[in-house]
């Protein structure tokens, strides 16, 4: 296609396609190497519901395109097409709308304009054969594939994944795949640890996991996810029955094993959790998530050993190093894994390797602009504060980062720890000097974070009694008084 009018017409057709090339999937939002590793393992293990492997081929094809490997991208898309046809047979055409859109764009970018136009026409033929209810409504298969893509490619795209699965469910409310996708997206976006006042019925993820399991009661991944959620609300009897069923239904699925291991670790069953995670690693050795979970298990075992009297110093050191080794593997596999980096940095600090700890924490802080979840930033501030509180003995730096963790909105376990530590620091200072202005200011900030504005104002007044010229305390008190009145 050499003439400009023909090229313009093709460009117009391409822009109208539903495709990963038109969904604003930014290269900088993805950890390409980690994503590539995970997708190759999904294909190798043939895990998931019908059609999941075909989707993994398509996901990996787009990654290869971004990595300037168009020939492999083409091969993967053709394999995706073949797998889709094998899986869905005569029902496969609507499942191929996005695949053909991707092929059209790939052919265009590699200079094969006539073939690009052919794939555009294939999409048009499918849309004519299966018209949607209006020009603004997509087929549920397209919404679903878009949802899975957002869910797979980046944590920052999880909210978009939720929107896509909801759109698919508006058309097919009882479809098991869209219900499962929506449940998984909610599970990943909801806080791991609920606030004390929250009940299971307040959790959208629990409600949707139940809904998805009503349609497909033998989905072991959903069963294991629900066990984790119910465990967080101390609904152990129901959670244990789900764990038993999931292990019986799909005992070698690494996704099932890792979620059940997480549930067990949260219940303090570290040895059982480690056994399951080691089993999962035999099938998926390059899982950053599993190595992170193993690291946390060894950390819990180390803490348990330290609390025994007398404890074995050599055993504590051994468990600490096993924790560090697994966290290092997690970070190596997935360099963008900020939580694993923060946990590793704190363990370096505990191991007296202060330079590596500081370097790792600074790497975490540099990642802040790319971290979409405030709770992750909160974890990093809390871990860095712990590093200075316990290991470097720099109280000013510890206070600074406990305060920063407190100022972020999610009321997570880390937020509660920041509250406890600031109260302890303030109480310790007041026990030595009852006129310590900083101690009263810290108690004021804690009270404000907890929502007790009157107590916060009272504490700032006490801070000003001790340091009457402090403009920071005066400004904070004036703001509180205005809000109270």
Are 215 and 179 in contact by the 8 Å Cβ rule? The answer is yes
Contact 357, 394 (CB under 8 A): no
Q: Which of these, 397, 319, 395, lies nearest to 358 by C-alpha position?
A: 397
**Predicted local distance difference test score (pLDDT) of residue 5:** 52
Residue 110: inside a domain: yes
Distance (Å, rounded) from C-alpha 146 to C-alpha 165?
A: 8
Residue 443 lies in a domain: yes
Which tens digits make up the pLDDT trace of 178-221? 999 999 999 999 988 787 778 999 999 999 999 999 999 999 99
Pick the last residue of a domain from 96, 131, 166.
Answer: 131
Residue 485 has pLDDT above 90, yes or no: no
Q: Look over the chain and give the mean of its residue pLDDT values, rounded to a whole number.
A: 94
Per-residue pLDDT reduced to its tens digit, 288-341: 999 999 999 999 999 999 998 888 899 999 999 999 999 999 999 999 999 999
pLDDT of residue 140: 97
**Residue 126 belongs to a domain:** yes
**Count of domains observed in the chain:** 2
Query: How much is the pLDDT for 373?
Result: 81
CB neighbours of residue 101 within 10 Å: 25
Average pLDDT over residues 425-436: 96
pLDDT at 412: 85
pLDDT of residue 47 exceeding 90, the answer is no
Give 72-117 pLDDT, tens digit per residue: 999 999 999 999 999 999 999 999 999 999 999 999 999 999 999 9
* Domain termination residue (choose one: 81, 107, 131): 131
CATH number of the domain that residue 13 is part of: 1.25.40.10
pLDDT top residue among 345 and 286: 345
- Give domain status of residue 344, yes or no: no
Contact 364, 381 (CB under 8 A): no
**Cα distance between residue 179 and residue 168, in whole Å:** 9
In a domain, 347, yes or no: no
288 exposed, middle or buried (CB, 10 Å; 0-12, 13-18, 19+)? Answer: buried
- pLDDT above 90 covers what percent of the chain? 85
Q: What is the average per-residue pLDDT within 395-411?
A: 92
Q: Is residue 95 part of a domain?
A: yes
Asked whether the whole model's pTM tops 0.95, one would answer: no
Give the domain range for residue 463. Answer: 433-485
**What was the pLDDT predicted at 6?**
60
* Residue at 11 is within a domain: yes
Residue 46, pLDDT score: 86
Long-range contacts for 143-147 (Cβ within 8 Å, ≥24 apart)?
Answer: 143/167, 143/168, 143/171, 143/178, 144/168, 144/177, 144/178, 144/181, 145/55, 145/58, 145/95, 145/98, 146/18, 146/23, 146/98, 147/178, 147/181, 147/182, 147/185
Domain end position, chosen among 109, 131, 153 = 131
Confidence of residue 50 (pLDDT cuts 50, 70, 90): confident
Domain-located, residue 186: no
Query: What letter does residue 253 receive in the DSSP assignment?
Result: -
pLDDT for res 421: 97
pLDDT tens-digit profile of 127-180? Answer: 999 999 888 999 999 999 999 999 999 888 999 999 999 999 999 999 999 999
Q: First CA to last CA across the chain, in angstroms?
A: 72
CA distance 16 to 286: 38
- pLDDT grade for 1, boundaries at 50, 70 and 90: very low
- Dist. CA 14–CA 71, nearest whole Å: 20
- Flag the least confident range among 4-8, 147-151, 380-384, 446-450: 4-8
């Amino acid at each position: 296609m050499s003439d400009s009018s023909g090229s313009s017409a093709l460009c117009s057709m391409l822009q109208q396609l539903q495709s990963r090339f038109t969904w604003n999937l930014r290269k900088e939002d993805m950890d390409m190497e980690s994503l590539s590793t995970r997708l190759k393992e999904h294909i190798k293990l043939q895990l998931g519901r019908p059609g999941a492997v075909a989707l993994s081929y398509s996901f990996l094809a787009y990654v290869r395109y971004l990595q300037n490997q168009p020939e492999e991208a083409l091969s993967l898309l053709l394999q995706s097409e073949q797998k889709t046809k094998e899986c869905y047979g005569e029902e496969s055409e609507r499942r191929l709308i996005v695949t053909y859109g991707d092929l059209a764009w790939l052919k265009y970018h590699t200079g094969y304009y006539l073939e690009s136009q052919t794939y555009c026409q294939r999409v048009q033929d499918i849309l004519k054969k299966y018209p949607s209810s209006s020009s603004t409504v997509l087929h549920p298969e397209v919404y679903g594939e878009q949802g899975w893509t957002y869910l797979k490619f980046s944590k920052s795209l999880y909210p978009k994944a939720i929107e896509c699965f909801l759109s698919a469910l508006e058309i097919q409310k009882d479809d098991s795949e869209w219900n499962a996708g929506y449940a998984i997206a909610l599970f990943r976006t909801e806080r791991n640890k609920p606030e004390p006042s929250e009940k299971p019925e307040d959790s959208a993820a629990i409600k949707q996991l139940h809904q998805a399991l009503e349609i497909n009661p033998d989905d072991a991944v959903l069963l294991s996810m629900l066990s984790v959620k119910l465990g967080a609300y101390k609904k152990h009897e129901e959670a244990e029955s789900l764990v038993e069923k999931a292990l019986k239904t799909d005992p070698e699925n690494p996704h099932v094993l890792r979620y059940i291991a997480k549930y067990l670790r949260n219940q303090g069953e570290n040895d059982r959790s480690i056994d399951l995670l080691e089993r999962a690693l035999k099938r998926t050795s390059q899982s950053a998530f599993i190595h992170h979970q193993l690291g946390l298990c060894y950390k819990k075992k180390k803490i348990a050993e330290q609390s025994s009297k007398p404890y074995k110093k050599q055993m504590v050191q051994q468990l600490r190093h096993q924790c560090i080794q697994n966290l290092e593997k997690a970070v190596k596999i997935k360099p963008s894994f900020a939580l694993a980096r923060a946990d590793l940095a704190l363990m370096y600090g505990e191991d007296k390797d202060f330079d590596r700890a500081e370097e790792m924490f600074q790497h975490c802080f540099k990642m802040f602009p790319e971290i979409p979840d405030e709770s992750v930033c909160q974890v990093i501030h809390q871990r860095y504060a712990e590093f200075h509180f316990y290991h470097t003995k720099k109280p000013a730096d510890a206070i600074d980062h406990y305060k920063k963790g407190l100022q972020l909105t999610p009321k997570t376990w880390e937020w509660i720890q920041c509250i406890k530590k600031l109260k302890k620091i303030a109480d310790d200072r007041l026990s030595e000097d009852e006129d310590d202005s900083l101690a009263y200011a810290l108690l004021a900030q804690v009270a404000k974070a907890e929502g007790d504005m009157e107590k916060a104002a009272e504490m700032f007044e006490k801070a000003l009694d001790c340091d009457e010229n402090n403009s920071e305390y005066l400004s904070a008190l004036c703001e509180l008084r205005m809000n109270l009145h």
